[in-house]
Structure 1
Amino acid sequence: MAEPTPPVIEAEKPPVPAPAVSEGADPPPAPEVAARRWSPPKLSWTAIAIAALLIVAGVTAVLMAWRVWPFAGTVQSTENAYVRGQVTIISPQVNGYLTSVPVQDFASVKAGDVLATIDDRIYRQRVDQAKANVASAQAALANNPQQAASKTATYGSQEAAVASAQAQLAKARADYARIDSLAKDGFVTRRDRDAALATLQSAQAAVAQAQASRTIASEDIQSVKVNKGGLVASVDAARAALRLAEIDLANTVIRAPVAGQLGEVGGRQGQYVTAGTQLMALVPQTLWVTAAFKEAQTAKIRPGQKASFKVDALAGAKLTGVVEQLAPAAGSEFSVIRSDNATGNFVKIPQRIAVRIRIDRNQPAAARLRPGMSVEASVEVGD
């Protein structure tokens, strides 16, 4: 670049003395002053360089702000984004009349705080009844050893009866053998022989009866042993019923499962509610942003990338976050009725894929976020 030519300034001429003027003559005309040329001050190369850098920085900032070339591909944005949260519907697990609802609309609660109570008189009686059933089952189980001992003693008695019957049978056989021998020789009448035979047969029947009674006593012992398992199961069943009754009693007090803020409270004192009746909604403190990007925009979106979003309800306040996950499928795949493009004219419609953005901590404006708020999300995807 050629150096600019400095302006030429004419040198001032010495003043010309005015000619003498005679008395009564006209004064001579004043001498003309030569006009001077103006020129701007000379700029240094440093000032020119600083000005050029400021211009380039300003143009770059404008291009980045408007996301135009060459910065168009570094950030992906969408207005189809909303603040989300795990809204929990609070419902009772048991039926009954509400005896108290100590919370109000939009109240902040901690985990374990009482939200409502249900009349528990019936459930207390069920607990008492279950405790009585447990005691009865335990008593029956405790009586099992005595029953086993009694049956064992009975079996021993039947063993003795069998031995006695067998001894009587042996005596009857011996008596019959002697009488039968004497009857053959004519020393005993036939009547005596028949009486001895009847005694022998009676002894044989007594042995059979004693053996049968012994078998019954043995089976009774086995029955007592088997019945013990049933009694143990009865005790377990009674205890399980007691635990269920205690759970139902505990469920008459409805507590907050997590810390958060309540929505509108629908339950009122004296209202009859059933299991599953919606009483109120609880919004926990953990929130995130779900942004639906067009499928082409997600080509370079990855978990861990920095993100930001502007909240309409907060006068466009800008918050930051980090990409956590991308949805496993496009939103249309989760719809109840899917579109069928197998017939008719086909129009290609870009699908959208949801991206979950974790909100960074220590942002004062984040405390004012509410699920359902509309935001404008952006993700820095790099070059």
Structure 2
Amino acid sequence: MKLNRDKKNFKVYIPLIVVVLIVFSGVWYWYDQYKKFITTDDAHVDADYVAISSKILGRISHLYSNEGDSISKGKLIAELDSNDLLAQKYQFIAMKGQAVANQLQADAKYKYDIENIKVLEINVAKTQDDFDRAKNQFNSDVITKEQYEHIKKTYETAQAQLNSAKILLNVSKSQVNSASAAVDYAESQIGVIVTQLRNTKLYAPMKGVVAKRWLLNGDIVQPGQSLFTIINNQKLWVVIYLEETKLSEIHIGQKVLFTIDALPNKEFSGKVFSIGSNTASLFSLIPPNNASGNFTKVTQRVPIKVSIDADEKNRRIEKNKILTGMSVVAKIVKD
């Protein structure tokens, strides 16, 4: 009877013993994990992003890529309407043609005026000699006063013609300068329009995947406005936001194990390759302002970048299944 009673009492304690063992195992597991790892789920997959934006104002005529498309570096991905720019280009080409014709005419007139002045200067020199000789002859009563006045008048007329020609030469020179400036202006405007025409075509600056398309065909795009956002999916990493109190245990090259929520059965490994130079909140949309008088101390987090070890199997997984922004559970191995 006593033996049966002891067996019954032992059976009563079996569930309690099992619970104690489970609790002890759990505590031991978490203690072991705490000693070996710094664990956090404040992490996600990240990559380089490039925003493709327009340099000019224009209407979108063609979009050659959609979200999710893989693109190569240098691929044409968007085009703006160029009809207005082409019309302006032809207008300035015609303006340049007229300006060149005016310049040739002004140059010819300027050269003619220079040669004419040379002839008039010779004539002035000759008539001045005649006038000087006539003056002496008149004073010596060799010629009459009428002859003297005629020679004097001829000299004064030649001098006046030379002065008028010099004025016309200055006018011709200003016309040459104006015509040349008109040609330069037309050429500069053509150059500006050619550059703008070149900017109507947008090319991918790197190989990657279109993560976001912001506009549609027919939309008006402003200078600097993004049409696409491209990510470099060939080089992914994990960003961990770690409490500042644990930062002293982190260093470049430290090993990290992590799982991605979308691939829970696959454990990845990597190494710390960047430790942020400031906390994540410093450049947030609303940065902390402790001068307001309502200070509440909050543990800040520092961004840490971790590489994804790239063996052949991982490359296939990265290419097909890992996306930027996916949640990550990371375990930083303590040294």
TM value normalised by structure 2 = 0.71
Pick aligned residue for 2:153 from 165, 178, 202: 202
Tell me the equivalent position of 2:198. Answer: 250
Task: Quote the residue 2:21 is aligned against.
Answer: none
State the distance in 2 between where 1:240 and 1:156 align.
37
The alignment's C-alpha RMSD in Å is 3.9
- The percent of aligned pairs where both chains have the same amino acid is 22
Superposed CA offset, 1:196-223 (max 9, x none): 6755763663464255346547756865
Structure with greater Cα Rg? 1
Question: Are the counterparts in 2 of residues 165 and 210 from structure 1 also a CA contact under 8 Å?
Answer: no
Contact 2:117/2:162 (<8 A) preserved: no
Structure 2 contact 56–199 (Cα < 8 Å) conserved: yes
More helix by share: 2
Query: What does residue 52 of structure 1 align with?
Result: none
Please give the alpha-carbon distance, in whole angstroms, between the structure 1 residues aligned to 2:184 and 2:246: 60
Letter aligned with residue 205 of structure 1 = E
- Partner-residue secondary structure (3-state), 2:130: helix
How many residues in Structure 1 have an aligned counterpart in Structure 2? 303
Please give the alpha-carbon distance, in whole angstroms, between the structure 1 residues aligned to 2:120 and 2:31.
Answer: 106
Residue in 2 aligned with 1:261?
Answer: 209
2:129 to 146, 167, 173: 167
Change (3 A) 1:159 1:243: same
Offset of 1:149 from its aligned partner?
Answer: 3.0
Q: CA deviation at 1:91?
A: 4.4
Q: Report deviation, 1:347.
A: 4.3
CA distance 1:161–1:326, change in 2 (3 Å): farther
Q: Which residue of 2 aligns with 1:273?
A: 220
Provide, for residues 148-184 of structure 1, a one-character-per-residue CA deviation record: whole Å limited to 9, x for no partner.
53232122122112213312321331243123x99xx
Alpha carbons 1:90, 1:281 under 8 Å: kept: yes
Selected match of 1:84 from 32, 40, 46: 46
Whole-angstrom distance in 2 between the partners of 1:360 and 1:236 = 59
Is the counterpart of residue 376 in structure 1 residue 311 in structure 2?
no
Paired letter, 2:317: A
1:318 to 260, 263, 267: 267
Q: Is the 8 A contact 1:103 1:115 kept in 2?
A: yes
Describe the shift of the 1:172–1:137 C-alpha distance in structure 2 as closer, same or farther (beyond 3 A). Answer: same
Matches within 5 A, 1:356-371: 356-362=305-311, 363=314, 364-367=316-319, 368-371=321-324
- 1:280 offset after TM fit, Å? 4.1
Rate the CA distance shift 1:241–1:86 in 2: closer, same or farther, 3 A: farther
Q: 1:328 to 1:234 in 2, by over 3 A?
A: farther
- Summarize the Cα distance change of 1:245–1:360 in structure 2 as closer, same or farther, 3 Å threshold: farther
Q: Give the alignment partner of residue 110 of structure 1, picking from 67, 72, 79.
A: 72
The SS at the match of 1:355 is strand
One-letter code aligned to 2:222 = A
Aligned residue for 2:186? 238
**Contact 1:134-1:235 at 8 Å conserved across structures:** yes
Match of 1:284 in 2: 232
List aligned pairs for 1:1-383, cutoff 5 A: 66-69=32-35, 71=36, 75-94=37-56, 97-137=59-99, 146-179=108-141, 195=146, 198-199=149-150, 202=153, 205-206=156-157, 208-209=159-160, 212-213=163-164, 215-216=166-167, 219=170, 227=177, 231=180, 235-263=183-211, 265=213, 267-269=215-217, 271-276=218-223, 278-285=226-233, 286-315=235-264, 317-342=266-291, 344=293, 347-362=296-311, 363=314, 364-367=316-319, 368-380=321-333, 382=335
Matched residue SS, 2:282: helix
Query: 1:129 deviation in Å?
Result: 2.9
1:83–1:287 Cα contact (<8 Å) kept: yes
Counterpart contact for 1:82–1:373, Cα < 8 Å: yes
C-alpha contact (below 8 Å) 2:51/2:230 kept by paired residues: yes
Structure-1 separation of matches of 2:182 and 2:236: 49
More strand by share: 2
Q: Deviations over 1:55-85 (max 9, x none)?
A: xxxx9xx77994334x4xxx43432222223
Separation (CA, whole Å) in 1 of partners of 2:193 and 2:43: 47
- CA deviations over 1:101-147 (Å, ceiling 9, x no partner): 44444222223334344443333323333433444555556667645
Structure 1 regions of 5+ residues with no counterpart?
Answer: 1-58, 183-191
Q: Is the 8 A contact 1:169 1:207 kept in 2?
A: no
Q: Report if the CA contact (8 A) 1:309-1:376 is conserved.
A: yes
Q: Is the 8 A contact 2:62 2:79 kept in 1?
A: yes
